Chains A and B, each alone.
Chain A
Amino acid sequence: MTAAVFFGCAFIAFGPAFSLFIFTIAKDPLRVIILIAGAFFWLVSLLLSSLVWFIATKATNAQDLTLQKNLLIFGSIFSVILQEVFRFAYYRLLRKANEGLAAISEEDGPPLSVREMAYVAGLGFGIMSGAFSMINTLSDSLGPGTVGMFGDSQYYFITSALMTLALTMLHTFWGVVFFEGCERKRWWVIAVVLCVHLMVFSLSLLNPFYVASILPVYAIMLLMAVWAFFSSGGSLHNITLLWTCKTRLKPI
Protein backbone atom coordinates (compact mmCIF):
# COMPACT_ATOMS: atom_id res chain seq x y z
CA MET A 1 0.00 0.00 0.00
CA THR A 2 2.38 2.68 1.15
CA ALA A 3 5.34 3.22 3.43
CA ALA A 4 3.04 3.25 6.47
CA VAL A 5 1.79 -0.23 5.74
CA PHE A 6 5.28 -1.42 4.88
CA PHE A 7 6.72 -0.35 8.20
CA GLY A 8 3.66 -1.42 10.14
CA CYS A 9 3.73 -4.92 8.72
CA ALA A 10 7.51 -5.18 9.05
CA PHE A 11 7.33 -4.24 12.71
CA ILE A 12 4.48 -6.63 13.39
CA ALA A 13 6.14 -9.54 11.69
CA PHE A 14 9.71 -9.03 12.80
CA GLY A 15 9.44 -6.85 15.90
CA PRO A 16 9.53 -9.58 18.54
CA ALA A 17 12.18 -11.56 16.70
CA PHE A 18 14.25 -8.41 16.40
CA SER A 19 13.95 -7.57 20.06
CA LEU A 20 14.81 -11.14 21.04
CA PHE A 21 17.84 -10.99 18.85
CA ILE A 22 19.00 -7.64 20.19
CA PHE A 23 18.64 -8.48 23.83
CA THR A 24 19.55 -12.11 24.06
CA ILE A 25 21.64 -13.14 21.12
CA ALA A 26 23.56 -10.29 19.62
CA LYS A 27 26.16 -10.01 22.37
CA ASP A 28 27.29 -13.60 22.29
CA PRO A 29 29.04 -14.66 19.07
CA LEU A 30 28.46 -18.33 19.70
CA ARG A 31 24.74 -17.78 19.89
CA VAL A 32 24.84 -15.80 16.67
CA ILE A 33 26.57 -18.69 14.96
CA ILE A 34 24.05 -21.18 16.23
CA LEU A 35 21.22 -18.88 15.16
CA ILE A 36 22.52 -18.58 11.63
CA ALA A 37 23.25 -22.27 11.38
CA GLY A 38 19.72 -22.97 12.51
CA ALA A 39 18.38 -20.65 9.86
CA PHE A 40 20.49 -22.47 7.33
CA PHE A 41 19.13 -25.84 8.38
CA TRP A 42 15.62 -24.55 7.88
CA LEU A 43 16.62 -23.27 4.46
CA VAL A 44 17.98 -26.63 3.43
CA SER A 45 14.81 -28.38 4.50
CA LEU A 46 12.79 -25.91 2.49
CA LEU A 47 15.04 -26.37 -0.50
CA LEU A 48 14.63 -30.12 -0.51
CA SER A 49 10.89 -30.03 -0.02
CA SER A 50 10.45 -27.39 -2.69
CA LEU A 51 12.52 -29.50 -5.08
CA VAL A 52 10.09 -32.32 -4.54
CA TRP A 53 7.13 -30.02 -5.11
CA PHE A 54 8.75 -28.47 -8.16
CA ILE A 55 9.39 -31.81 -9.78
CA ALA A 56 5.85 -32.87 -9.01
CA THR A 57 4.35 -29.78 -10.63
CA LYS A 58 6.57 -29.97 -13.67
CA ALA A 59 5.68 -33.59 -14.19
CA THR A 60 1.96 -32.91 -14.17
CA ASN A 61 -0.45 -30.75 -16.08
CA ALA A 62 0.02 -27.12 -15.18
CA GLN A 63 -3.48 -26.15 -16.25
CA ASP A 64 -5.33 -28.39 -13.84
CA LEU A 65 -5.82 -26.07 -10.92
CA THR A 66 -7.25 -28.49 -8.36
CA LEU A 67 -4.39 -30.85 -9.01
CA GLN A 68 -1.92 -28.02 -8.54
CA LYS A 69 -3.58 -26.99 -5.30
CA ASN A 70 -3.47 -30.56 -4.02
CA LEU A 71 0.14 -30.82 -5.00
CA LEU A 72 0.80 -27.63 -3.06
CA ILE A 73 -0.84 -29.10 0.02
CA PHE A 74 1.10 -32.29 -0.36
CA GLY A 75 4.29 -30.33 -0.84
CA SER A 76 3.63 -28.27 2.26
CA ILE A 77 2.93 -31.31 4.41
CA PHE A 78 6.13 -32.85 3.16
CA SER A 79 7.90 -29.60 3.99
CA VAL A 80 6.54 -29.61 7.57
CA ILE A 81 7.74 -33.15 8.08
CA LEU A 82 11.11 -32.32 6.61
CA GLN A 83 11.48 -29.24 8.83
CA GLU A 84 11.01 -31.37 11.93
CA VAL A 85 13.44 -33.92 10.60
CA PHE A 86 15.99 -31.18 10.13
CA ARG A 87 15.28 -29.85 13.60
CA PHE A 88 16.16 -33.28 14.92
CA ALA A 89 19.26 -33.37 12.76
CA TYR A 90 20.29 -29.99 14.12
CA TYR A 91 19.78 -31.25 17.63
CA ARG A 92 22.14 -34.12 16.96
CA LEU A 93 24.70 -31.81 15.43
CA LEU A 94 24.56 -29.43 18.37
CA ARG A 95 24.90 -32.26 20.88
CA LYS A 96 28.01 -33.43 19.10
CA ALA A 97 29.37 -29.91 18.87
CA ASN A 98 28.72 -29.34 22.55
CA GLU A 99 31.32 -31.88 23.52
CA GLY A 100 33.86 -30.16 21.32
CA LEU A 101 32.94 -26.75 22.68
CA ALA A 102 33.26 -28.00 26.22
CA ALA A 103 36.77 -29.16 25.45
CA ILE A 104 37.99 -25.81 24.19
CA SER A 105 36.20 -23.44 26.49
CA GLU A 106 37.95 -21.75 29.34
CA GLU A 107 35.36 -22.65 31.89
CA ASP A 108 34.72 -26.19 32.98
CA GLY A 109 31.87 -27.45 30.98
CA PRO A 110 30.09 -26.27 27.89
CA PRO A 111 29.61 -22.53 27.42
CA LEU A 112 26.03 -22.98 26.34
CA SER A 113 23.47 -25.19 27.92
CA VAL A 114 21.26 -27.33 25.77
CA ARG A 115 18.35 -25.16 26.77
CA GLU A 116 20.00 -22.05 25.44
CA MET A 117 20.93 -23.82 22.27
CA ALA A 118 17.36 -25.02 21.92
CA TYR A 119 16.03 -21.51 22.22
CA VAL A 120 18.55 -20.05 19.78
CA ALA A 121 18.01 -22.85 17.26
CA GLY A 122 14.26 -22.40 17.44
CA LEU A 123 14.62 -18.68 16.95
CA GLY A 124 16.86 -19.27 13.95
CA PHE A 125 14.23 -21.51 12.39
CA GLY A 126 11.59 -18.93 13.16
CA ILE A 127 13.43 -15.95 11.72
CA MET A 128 14.19 -17.68 8.46
CA SER A 129 10.68 -19.01 8.16
CA GLY A 130 9.28 -15.55 8.81
CA ALA A 131 11.60 -13.96 6.31
CA PHE A 132 10.54 -16.33 3.60
CA SER A 133 6.89 -15.85 4.38
CA MET A 134 6.93 -12.12 4.57
CA ILE A 135 9.64 -10.49 2.48
CA ASN A 136 7.87 -10.94 -0.83
CA THR A 137 4.63 -9.55 0.54
CA LEU A 138 6.43 -6.65 2.20
CA SER A 139 8.08 -5.55 -1.00
CA ASP A 140 4.74 -5.42 -2.75
CA SER A 141 3.19 -3.47 0.09
CA LEU A 142 5.40 -0.49 -0.74
CA GLY A 143 3.48 0.33 -3.90
CA PRO A 144 0.35 2.47 -3.95
CA GLY A 145 -2.13 -0.35 -4.36
CA THR A 146 -3.68 -2.79 -1.94
CA VAL A 147 -4.98 -6.30 -2.39
CA GLY A 148 -8.59 -6.62 -3.38
CA MET A 149 -8.94 -6.20 -7.12
CA PHE A 150 -9.75 -9.86 -7.65
CA GLY A 151 -11.95 -10.30 -4.63
CA ASP A 152 -9.32 -10.91 -1.95
CA SER A 153 -9.65 -9.27 1.42
CA GLN A 154 -8.06 -5.89 1.88
CA TYR A 155 -6.62 -6.97 5.24
CA TYR A 156 -4.17 -9.24 3.47
CA PHE A 157 -1.04 -7.45 4.57
CA ILE A 158 -1.90 -7.18 8.24
CA THR A 159 -2.99 -10.77 8.51
CA SER A 160 0.13 -11.97 6.71
CA ALA A 161 2.23 -10.06 9.20
CA LEU A 162 0.30 -11.48 12.15
CA MET A 163 0.65 -15.02 10.84
CA THR A 164 4.35 -14.50 10.33
CA LEU A 165 4.74 -13.25 13.88
CA ALA A 166 2.88 -16.27 15.21
CA LEU A 167 4.93 -18.65 13.13
CA THR A 168 8.22 -17.15 14.25
CA MET A 169 7.33 -17.44 17.91
CA LEU A 170 5.94 -20.93 17.38
CA HIS A 171 9.17 -22.10 15.85
CA THR A 172 11.06 -20.72 18.85
CA PHE A 173 8.80 -22.55 21.31
CA TRP A 174 8.90 -25.73 19.28
CA GLY A 175 12.67 -25.60 19.31
CA VAL A 176 12.76 -25.37 23.10
CA VAL A 177 10.22 -28.12 23.63
CA PHE A 178 11.67 -30.39 20.99
CA PHE A 179 15.24 -30.29 22.26
CA GLU A 180 14.05 -30.79 25.80
CA GLY A 181 12.06 -33.81 24.72
CA CYS A 182 15.02 -35.26 22.85
CA GLU A 183 17.27 -34.63 25.83
CA ARG A 184 14.91 -36.46 28.20
CA LYS A 185 14.30 -39.17 25.61
CA ARG A 186 10.58 -38.36 25.55
CA TRP A 187 9.92 -39.22 21.94
CA TRP A 188 6.23 -38.45 22.13
CA VAL A 189 7.18 -34.77 22.35
CA ILE A 190 8.51 -34.94 18.82
CA ALA A 191 5.28 -36.44 17.59
CA VAL A 192 3.24 -33.77 19.37
CA VAL A 193 5.35 -30.96 17.91
CA LEU A 194 4.92 -32.43 14.46
CA CYS A 195 1.18 -32.68 14.91
CA VAL A 196 0.88 -29.13 16.19
CA HIS A 197 2.94 -27.88 13.25
CA LEU A 198 0.65 -29.72 10.85
CA MET A 199 -2.36 -28.30 12.64
CA VAL A 200 -1.06 -24.77 12.27
CA PHE A 201 -0.42 -25.44 8.60
CA SER A 202 -3.94 -26.70 8.02
CA LEU A 203 -5.38 -23.71 9.87
CA SER A 204 -3.50 -21.44 7.50
CA LEU A 205 -5.31 -23.14 4.64
CA LEU A 206 -8.50 -21.58 5.96
CA ASN A 207 -7.37 -18.14 4.80
CA PRO A 208 -9.05 -15.78 3.89
CA PHE A 209 -11.40 -16.60 6.74
CA TYR A 210 -9.00 -14.83 8.97
CA VAL A 211 -11.07 -15.19 12.13
CA ALA A 212 -11.00 -18.96 11.75
CA SER A 213 -7.30 -19.10 11.10
CA ILE A 214 -5.56 -16.39 13.08
CA LEU A 215 -7.33 -16.73 16.41
CA PRO A 216 -6.77 -20.50 16.75
CA VAL A 217 -3.14 -20.05 15.72
CA TYR A 218 -2.61 -17.46 18.41
CA ALA A 219 -4.31 -19.72 20.93
CA ILE A 220 -1.94 -22.51 19.98
CA MET A 221 0.96 -20.08 20.27
CA LEU A 222 -0.01 -19.17 23.82
CA LEU A 223 -0.30 -22.83 24.76
CA MET A 224 3.09 -23.57 23.27
CA ALA A 225 4.53 -20.57 25.12
CA VAL A 226 3.32 -21.96 28.39
CA TRP A 227 4.66 -25.42 27.58
CA ALA A 228 8.04 -23.97 26.58
CA PHE A 229 8.19 -21.90 29.73
CA PHE A 230 7.64 -24.92 31.89
CA SER A 231 9.98 -27.13 29.98
CA SER A 232 12.81 -24.62 30.14
CA GLY A 233 12.77 -24.46 33.86
CA GLY A 234 10.12 -22.01 34.73
CA SER A 235 7.38 -22.62 37.20
CA LEU A 236 4.49 -20.82 38.78
CA HIS A 237 6.52 -20.44 41.91
CA ASN A 238 9.11 -18.46 39.96
CA ILE A 239 6.48 -16.10 38.70
CA THR A 240 5.16 -15.45 42.16
CA LEU A 241 8.77 -15.00 43.25
CA LEU A 242 9.08 -12.32 40.63
CA TRP A 243 6.21 -10.35 42.02
CA THR A 244 7.26 -10.73 45.62
CA CYS A 245 10.80 -9.77 44.69
CA LYS A 246 9.45 -6.63 43.22
CA THR A 247 7.35 -5.85 46.23
CA ARG A 248 10.20 -6.69 48.53
CA LEU A 249 12.53 -4.36 46.71
CA LYS A 250 10.25 -1.42 46.91
CA PRO A 251 10.73 -0.27 50.50
CA ILE A 252 14.47 -0.02 49.93
Chain B
Amino acid sequence: MAAAEQQPPAVDGGKALSALLGGIAQAAYYGKVDITEELLRGQLYPEAAPEEFRALRAKMGGLLQSIASADMDLNQLEAFLTAQTKKQGGITSDQAAVIAKFWKNHRVKIHESLVNQSCWDNVLKNMNWRVDLKSQSRHVDQINTPVAIVEMELGKYGQDSEFFFYCFCCFEKEMTPKQFHSVFYRSLDENFHQLCNRYMMS
Protein backbone atom coordinates (compact mmCIF):
# COMPACT_ATOMS: atom_id res chain seq x y z
CA MET B 1 0.00 0.00 0.00
CA ALA B 2 1.37 3.40 -0.97
CA ALA B 3 2.82 5.67 1.70
CA ALA B 4 1.43 8.72 0.00
CA GLU B 5 1.85 12.11 1.60
CA GLN B 6 -1.29 13.82 2.83
CA GLN B 7 -3.28 14.91 -0.20
CA PRO B 8 -5.02 18.29 -0.08
CA PRO B 9 -8.76 17.90 0.47
CA ALA B 10 -10.68 18.13 -2.76
CA VAL B 11 -14.23 18.98 -3.74
CA ASP B 12 -14.68 15.50 -5.21
CA GLY B 13 -11.40 13.62 -5.32
CA GLY B 14 -11.67 11.90 -8.69
CA LYS B 15 -13.41 14.69 -10.56
CA ALA B 16 -11.09 17.37 -9.22
CA LEU B 17 -7.99 15.44 -10.19
CA SER B 18 -9.37 14.78 -13.65
CA ALA B 19 -10.10 18.48 -14.05
CA LEU B 20 -6.63 19.33 -12.75
CA LEU B 21 -5.05 17.08 -15.38
CA GLY B 22 -7.27 18.80 -17.94
CA GLY B 23 -6.06 22.20 -16.78
CA ILE B 24 -2.42 21.10 -16.92
CA ALA B 25 -2.94 19.75 -20.43
CA GLN B 26 -4.65 22.96 -21.57
CA ALA B 27 -1.64 24.99 -20.52
CA ALA B 28 1.10 22.60 -21.61
CA TYR B 29 -0.31 21.13 -24.81
CA TYR B 30 -3.31 23.11 -25.99
CA GLY B 31 -1.80 26.57 -25.77
CA LYS B 32 -4.10 28.05 -23.12
CA VAL B 33 -1.57 30.20 -21.33
CA ASP B 34 -4.09 31.93 -19.09
CA ILE B 35 -4.78 28.84 -16.98
CA THR B 36 -2.82 29.73 -13.89
CA GLU B 37 -2.10 27.73 -10.78
CA GLU B 38 -4.21 30.13 -8.74
CA LEU B 39 -7.17 29.66 -11.08
CA LEU B 40 -6.95 25.89 -10.83
CA ARG B 41 -6.60 25.91 -7.06
CA GLY B 42 -9.59 28.21 -6.60
CA GLN B 43 -11.76 26.15 -8.94
CA LEU B 44 -10.77 22.66 -7.90
CA TYR B 45 -9.06 22.64 -4.50
CA PRO B 46 -10.33 25.77 -2.72
CA GLU B 47 -9.64 24.32 0.72
CA ALA B 48 -6.03 23.52 -0.06
CA ALA B 49 -3.11 25.68 1.01
CA PRO B 50 -1.14 27.15 -1.91
CA GLU B 51 2.05 25.19 -1.13
CA GLU B 52 0.10 21.91 -0.88
CA PHE B 53 -1.60 22.57 -4.18
CA ARG B 54 1.64 23.61 -5.86
CA ALA B 55 3.17 20.28 -4.84
CA LEU B 56 0.18 18.34 -6.16
CA ARG B 57 0.16 20.24 -9.43
CA ALA B 58 3.90 19.73 -9.88
CA LYS B 59 3.61 16.02 -9.18
CA MET B 60 0.71 15.49 -11.55
CA GLY B 61 2.32 17.67 -14.19
CA GLY B 62 5.52 15.67 -13.93
CA LEU B 63 3.68 12.37 -14.29
CA LEU B 64 1.73 13.59 -17.31
CA GLN B 65 4.92 14.88 -18.89
CA SER B 66 6.62 11.49 -18.47
CA ILE B 67 3.63 9.69 -19.91
CA ALA B 68 3.27 12.09 -22.85
CA SER B 69 6.99 12.16 -23.58
CA ALA B 70 7.07 8.39 -23.90
CA ASP B 71 3.70 8.35 -25.68
CA MET B 72 2.88 5.37 -23.48
CA ASP B 73 0.63 2.59 -24.65
CA LEU B 74 -1.69 0.86 -22.16
CA ASN B 75 0.88 -1.73 -21.06
CA GLN B 76 3.59 0.85 -20.45
CA LEU B 77 1.08 3.09 -18.67
CA GLU B 78 -0.08 0.34 -16.32
CA ALA B 79 3.49 -0.61 -15.43
CA PHE B 80 4.44 3.02 -14.92
CA LEU B 81 1.44 3.88 -12.73
CA THR B 82 1.77 0.71 -10.67
CA ALA B 83 5.38 1.60 -9.96
CA GLN B 84 4.25 5.08 -8.91
CA THR B 85 1.74 3.65 -6.39
CA LYS B 86 4.53 1.65 -4.72
CA LYS B 87 6.90 4.62 -4.39
CA GLN B 88 7.43 6.69 -1.27
CA GLY B 89 5.55 9.94 -1.90
CA GLY B 90 3.89 8.41 -4.92
CA ILE B 91 0.24 8.25 -5.88
CA THR B 92 -2.78 6.30 -4.61
CA SER B 93 -4.38 3.63 -6.75
CA ASP B 94 -7.46 5.86 -7.09
CA GLN B 95 -5.27 8.61 -8.50
CA ALA B 96 -3.63 6.09 -10.81
CA ALA B 97 -7.06 5.14 -12.15
CA VAL B 98 -7.95 8.79 -12.83
CA ILE B 99 -4.63 9.41 -14.60
CA ALA B 100 -5.05 6.27 -16.70
CA LYS B 101 -8.54 7.28 -17.79
CA PHE B 102 -7.34 10.78 -18.62
CA TRP B 103 -4.46 9.53 -20.76
CA LYS B 104 -6.68 7.10 -22.66
CA ASN B 105 -8.95 9.99 -23.61
CA HIS B 106 -6.28 12.54 -24.43
CA ARG B 107 -3.33 10.55 -25.75
CA VAL B 108 -3.94 11.13 -29.44
CA LYS B 109 -4.65 14.84 -29.09
CA ILE B 110 -1.67 15.48 -26.80
CA HIS B 111 0.68 13.58 -29.09
CA GLU B 112 -0.60 15.55 -32.05
CA SER B 113 0.07 18.76 -30.15
CA LEU B 114 3.65 17.64 -29.40
CA VAL B 115 4.15 16.81 -33.06
CA ASN B 116 2.88 20.24 -34.11
CA GLN B 117 5.13 21.93 -31.56
CA SER B 118 8.15 20.26 -33.14
CA CYS B 119 7.22 21.38 -36.63
CA TRP B 120 9.07 24.63 -37.26
CA ASP B 121 9.08 24.93 -41.03
CA ASN B 122 6.33 25.98 -43.38
CA VAL B 123 3.54 23.47 -43.70
CA LEU B 124 1.00 23.11 -46.44
CA LYS B 125 -2.19 24.08 -44.62
CA ASN B 126 -4.54 23.85 -47.56
CA MET B 127 -4.61 23.45 -51.30
CA ASN B 128 -7.20 24.24 -53.96
CA TRP B 129 -7.08 24.10 -57.71
CA ARG B 130 -9.06 24.81 -60.84
CA VAL B 131 -8.62 24.24 -64.52
CA ASP B 132 -9.14 27.06 -66.99
CA LEU B 133 -9.39 27.01 -70.70
CA LYS B 134 -7.50 30.20 -71.41
CA SER B 135 -9.36 32.27 -74.02
CA GLN B 136 -7.05 35.23 -73.59
CA SER B 137 -3.46 35.42 -72.49
CA ARG B 138 -0.34 37.48 -72.99
CA HIS B 139 1.24 34.23 -74.15
CA VAL B 140 -0.12 33.46 -77.58
CA ASP B 141 0.61 29.76 -77.31
CA GLN B 142 -1.44 29.55 -74.11
CA ILE B 143 -4.70 30.40 -75.85
CA ASN B 144 -7.19 27.55 -75.94
CA THR B 145 -4.89 25.45 -73.81
CA PRO B 146 -6.21 24.10 -70.56
CA VAL B 147 -4.29 25.49 -67.63
CA ALA B 148 -4.44 24.29 -64.06
CA ILE B 149 -4.02 26.89 -61.34
CA VAL B 150 -3.11 25.69 -57.88
CA GLU B 151 -3.51 27.71 -54.73
CA MET B 152 -1.33 26.71 -51.80
CA GLU B 153 -1.71 28.00 -48.29
CA LEU B 154 1.68 27.87 -46.61
CA GLY B 155 2.61 28.95 -43.14
CA LYS B 156 3.95 27.89 -39.77
CA TYR B 157 1.79 26.36 -37.05
CA GLY B 158 -0.04 29.00 -35.09
CA GLN B 159 1.04 31.77 -37.43
CA ASP B 160 -0.59 33.53 -40.37
CA SER B 161 -0.45 31.87 -43.76
CA GLU B 162 0.64 33.10 -47.14
CA PHE B 163 -1.16 32.14 -50.29
CA PHE B 164 0.75 31.18 -53.43
CA PHE B 165 -0.60 30.54 -56.88
CA TYR B 166 1.14 28.28 -59.36
CA CYS B 167 0.29 27.09 -62.82
CA PHE B 168 0.46 23.94 -64.79
CA CYS B 169 0.19 23.97 -68.54
CA CYS B 170 0.47 21.30 -71.12
CA PHE B 171 3.49 22.79 -72.83
CA GLU B 172 6.33 20.48 -73.56
CA LYS B 173 8.98 22.57 -71.92
CA GLU B 174 7.10 23.05 -68.67
CA MET B 175 6.07 20.43 -66.19
CA THR B 176 2.60 19.00 -66.59
CA PRO B 177 0.55 17.55 -63.72
CA LYS B 178 1.05 14.17 -65.34
CA GLN B 179 4.83 14.54 -65.06
CA PHE B 180 4.40 15.87 -61.55
CA HIS B 181 2.26 12.87 -60.67
CA SER B 182 4.70 10.47 -62.28
CA VAL B 183 7.53 11.80 -60.09
CA PHE B 184 5.64 10.37 -57.13
CA TYR B 185 4.37 7.33 -58.98
CA ARG B 186 7.88 6.29 -60.03
CA SER B 187 9.08 6.42 -56.46
CA LEU B 188 5.99 5.21 -54.62
CA ASP B 189 6.83 1.57 -54.29
CA GLU B 190 6.20 -1.03 -51.60
CA ASN B 191 9.11 0.19 -49.50
CA PHE B 192 7.59 3.60 -49.13
CA HIS B 193 4.29 2.20 -47.87
CA GLN B 194 6.00 -0.25 -45.54
CA LEU B 195 8.16 2.49 -44.11
CA CYS B 196 5.15 4.70 -43.44
CA ASN B 197 3.18 1.88 -41.91
CA ARG B 198 6.03 0.87 -39.63
CA TYR B 199 6.24 4.32 -38.10
CA MET B 200 2.53 4.93 -37.95
CA MET B 201 1.83 1.80 -35.93
CA SER B 202 3.11 2.76 -32.52
Q: Do A and B bind each other?
A: no
Which A residues form the contact surface with B (CB < 8 A)? none
